[in-house]
Amino acid sequence: MTNGRDDIAVLGRGWQRVYSDMIFTGCIMGFFSAILDFLFPPKCVFCSRVLSSPDDDWCDKCTEALPYADFHGRLEGDIFDFCISPLYYTDVVRRSILRYKFGGASYYANSYGKLLADCIRDNSDLDYDIISWVPLSSKRKSSRGYDQAMLLAQATALELDNTAVETLSKSVDVQAQSELGDKAERSANISGAFIASDPNIVAGKSVLLIDDVVTTCSTLDECARILKSAGASNVFCAALARGA
């Protein structure tokens, strides 16, 4: 038969073992993390230079030299309210986004999300209820292995202490907009490609729609048309980069 002091002593020794195991596990994880950083050093998502710290996302040179968009790259839409972008889609930004979309660099989303979230915070008139994204078709997503706009929206929402919600699906796999010419041609190509996932989600709500790149605004306008037809009160947009 044990007394209270014995029970407390046993409990204390148990917690000491748990705490020791936690410290040991933390040391092992830190060790392997250091080995991975040595073998596969973190690189700038834009220029691919090796970073001085694994906590950085881009290098000091890119911090100074990135093509930051004037006035947050604000664009007025025919149907969406307006779109903001932190960067211009040129040079190092263009090459980085191409790696992200077509080179398997899906992990870039976390770094991009920080940039886009900062841009959103800087625009106080961006009053939204829901964060969503411009979706890929099932065929394109299957071929690529992921939906880059969805990953970007999720990373951005996380930075904003929010969550991203699916509001649209792309029911038709159309020709890539980047392969087409002017806005009229792109608008005709994308017309009817999207449907609202659930009108009840957006009815009476202001939607912030996220995409990776905006050029002629044709895709964003078509998405906004569908969302507003489903009852959305406003559709604001945010893209990582816009045409110069």
pLDDT value, residue 27: 47
Averaged confidence pLDDT in the chain: 85
Mean per-residue pLDDT, 46-75: 93
Q: Does the residue 32 lie in any domain?
A: no
CATH of the domain at 161: 3.40.50.2020
pLDDT digits (tens, 9 = 90+) for 65-106: 999 999 999 999 999 999 999 999 999 999 999 999 999 999
Q: Does the residue 69 lie in any domain?
A: yes
pLDDT digits (tens, 9 = 90+) for 183-220: 667 766 677 789 999 999 999 999 999 999 999 889 99
pLDDT value, residue 65: 95
* Contact criterion met (CB below 8 Å) for 233 and 80: no
Q: Does the residue 57 lie in any domain?
A: no
Is the backbone of residue 80 left (phi > 0), alpha (psi -120 to 50) or beta? Answer: beta
Is the per-residue pLDDT at 118 higher than 60? Answer: yes
* Contact criterion met (CB below 8 Å) for 147 and 135: yes
Q: Does the residue 4 lie in any domain?
A: no
pLDDT value, residue 55: 83
Q: Does the residue 8 lie in any domain?
A: no
Q: Is the dihedral of CA 181, 187, 193, 196 positive or negative?
A: positive
Buried b / exposed e across 17-49, counting CB within 10 Å, b at 16+? eeeeeeeeeeeeeeeeeeeeeeeeeeebbbbee
pLDDT value, residue 171: 80
The whole domain housing 106 covers: 62-242
Q: Does the residue 20 lie in any domain?
A: no
pLDDT value, residue 31: 43
pLDDT value, residue 41: 83
pLDDT digits (tens, 9 = 90+) for 20-34: 555 555 545 444 444
- Terminus-to-terminus CA distance in the chain, angstroms? 80
Q: Does the residue 88 lie in any domain?
A: yes
pLDDT value, residue 172: 72
Could you tell me what percent of the chain has a pLDDT over 90? 66
Greatest mean pLDDT among 8-17, 26-35, 50-59, 159-168: 159-168
Tally of domains in the chain: 1
pTM of the model: 0.81
Q: Does the residue 167 lie in any domain?
A: yes
pLDDT digits (tens, 9 = 90+) for 36-45: 454 568 999 9
pLDDT value, residue 33: 44
pLDDT value, residue 25: 55
